[in-house]
Amino acid sequence: MQQGFAVACINYRYACGDFHAQMDDIQSAIDYLRTKSTEWQTGNGNIGLAGVSAGAHLSLLFAHKYDPAHQVKAVVSLAGPTNLGDTLLQKYLNRHFINFVIKRFLGTTDAQVCADASPAVNPGKVPTLFINGDRDKLIPAEQSLRMFNILAANATPADTTVLRNTGHYIYGVRNVNIPQLSSEINQWMKTYLQ
């Protein structure tokens, strides 16, 4: 709570053929944290989500589409995909021979299911910070920039940072990016949670 936040690292089911399971897991974690807020003295109850890679995608998707109660007040995506049906993403995944991951996650490669599981196709009004590496060969930074543009066009608070000389391991060589990441994430959460 040094920065004024209580932080919980939540688990979720891995690719099981129905992404709604992960949305349920996030909701269950939020519900549990809310039941403990008085006991744990976790403050005003405002919720922010942040994740890296797949966790970033799930954070974005939940915050923008699967949070009808609008519990999530801010979200941070670190190297997260935003459009699972995008051909550029498919190209990147094919390069690493892991294009099967989306099918395993969704249970299909059907375009409508990919769209339903893509936060850029289902943008909400949640303040969103995107952080990517300029040398990410797994998730194209263009995905975050496209969603940023969609949010900005809809007057949703959004910002983006592209870290130089950084690949998918967003923390950088010898974790050189951690101070900047910590500063930007803390500032984003302070702005929208306090």
Rounded CA separation 13/20 (Å): 10
pLDDT for 147 equals: 98
Residue found by looking up tokens 């952080």 in the block: 131
Phi, psi of 33, deg, nearest 5: -60, -40
Per-residue pLDDT of the chain (194 residues; tens, 9 = 90+): 467 788 899 999 999 999 999 999 999 999 999 999 899 988 778 999 999 999 999 999 999 999 999 999 999 999 999 999 999 999 999 888 888 999 999 999 899 999 999 999 999 999 999 999 999 999 999 999 999 999 999 999 999 999 999 999 999 999 999 999 999 999 999 999 98
Instruction: Look up residue 173 and give its DSSP letter.
Output: G
Residue found by looking up tokens 């496209």 in the block: 146
Which residue type sits at 108?
T
Q: Identify the bridge partners of residue 51 per DSSP, sorted by sequence position.
A: 77
pTM for this one? Answer: 0.95
All domains of the chain in start order, with CATH: 20-193 (3.40.50.1820)
Within the chain, residue ranges assigned H as helices are 20-35, 37-40, 54-65, 87-95, 100-106, 111-116, 141-153, 178-193
Rounded CA separation 142/88 (Å): 9
